[in-house]
């Protein structure tokens, strides 16, 4: 399986876990009906239907991604859901958007802008450029998780790896950390800046769909971290985190876990 195909599969498998959180975050934005917005870094388009629902049948959502393979998947999803008239897709780079100034009423970016963001202020200025005055710029970032209840030291060691701290990076300066994004929004000239954290929770017993979603999330967080941890920690990971293991933690009758994503948003001034 190619890296792109594997990535697409994991996005699809984890969607049932993320969709309620995403719906809550979009609802919190109170996007006006009949408006035109941009999903910047739309990937395979999983949030486009939620955004289209928020703005209603008279609204429009444009999805943008730099990867044509992901856009092809987004187009298939839009066709399957009968949303082609309400959506459009465009290839392009978040750091150099192929749109005129003030093209959109709002901009949304989840798990895209800032993954990782070097020169985040410059990125925010570019995102804000294509939104009309008074419109919203909203960025959703994965911020934390507690997926291995009862094994805090194992989870802490896994979290200390390059994969475990994603979307942050080992060499990222403190001022570039996304939990400090309120300051960047203000420096970029955005007003009414707010941050809000949303939680996705799971509790046993899990059905097959959610079991697979949590397994995929665990793999996305730490599945390639073997070279960064000691053999004992990796053996514990293999025992607790592999779906084929008799000790797979997600199958525990008292399993409870959560992860968080944080929404930063502000209004374009002018």
Domains recognised in the chain with CATH numbers = 3-268 (3.40.50.150)
pLDDT tens digit sequence for 156-185: 999 999 989 887 778 888 888 889 999 999
From CA 201, how far away is CA 243, in angstroms rounded?
19
Confidence of residue 86 (pLDDT cuts 50, 70, 90): very high
Q: According to the model, what pLDDT value does residue 232 have?
A: 98
Q: According to the model, what pLDDT value does residue 3 have?
A: 67
pTM listed for this prediction: 0.93
Q: Starting at the edge strand that comes first in sequence, how are the strands of the sheet with 60-65 ordered?
A: 87-91, 60-65, 36-40, 104-110, 131-146, 256-268, 190-203
Confidence of residue 250 (pLDDT cuts 50, 70, 90): very high
pLDDT tens digit sequence for 195-223: 999 999 999 999 999 999 999 999 999 99
Q: According to the model, what pLDDT value does residue 87 have?
A: 96
Q: According to the model, what pLDDT value does residue 114 have?
A: 57
Contact 104/37 with Cβ under 8 angstroms?
Answer: yes
């Amino acid at each position: 399986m190619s890296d792109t195909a594997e990535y697409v599969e994991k996005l699809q498998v984890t969607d049932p876990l993320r969709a309620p959180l995403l719906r809550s975050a979009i609802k919190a934005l109170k996007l006006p009906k009949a408006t035109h917005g941009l999903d910047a870094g739309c990937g395979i388009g999983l949030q486009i239907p939620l955004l289209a629902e928020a703005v209603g049948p008279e609204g429009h959502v444009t999805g943008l991604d730099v990867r044509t393979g992901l856009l092809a998947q987004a187009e298939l999803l839009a066709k399957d859901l009968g949303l082609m008239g309400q959506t459009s897709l465009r290839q392009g780079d978040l750091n150099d958007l192929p749109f005129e100034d003030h093209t959109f009423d709002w901009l949304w970016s989840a798990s895209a802008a800032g993954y990782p963001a070097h020169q985040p202020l410059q990125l925010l200025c570019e995102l804000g450029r294509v939104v009309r005055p008074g419109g919203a710029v909203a960025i959703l970032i994965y911020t934390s998780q507690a997926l291995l209840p009862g094994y805090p030291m194992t989870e802490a060691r896994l979290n200390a790896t390059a994969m475990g701290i994603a979307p942050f990076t080992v060499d990222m300066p403190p001022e570039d950390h996304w939990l400090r994004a309120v300051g960047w929004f203000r420096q970029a000239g955005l007003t009414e800046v707010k941050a809000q954290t949303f939680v996705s929770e799971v509790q046993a017993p899990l059905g097959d769909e959610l079991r697979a979603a949590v397994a995929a999330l665990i793999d996305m967080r730490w599945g390639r971290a073997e070279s960064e941890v000691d053999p004992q920690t990796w053996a514990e990971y293999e025992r607790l985190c592999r779906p084929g293991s008799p000790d797979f933690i997600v199958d525990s009758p008292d399993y409870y876990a959560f992860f968080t994503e944080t929404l930063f948003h502000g209004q374009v001034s002018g």
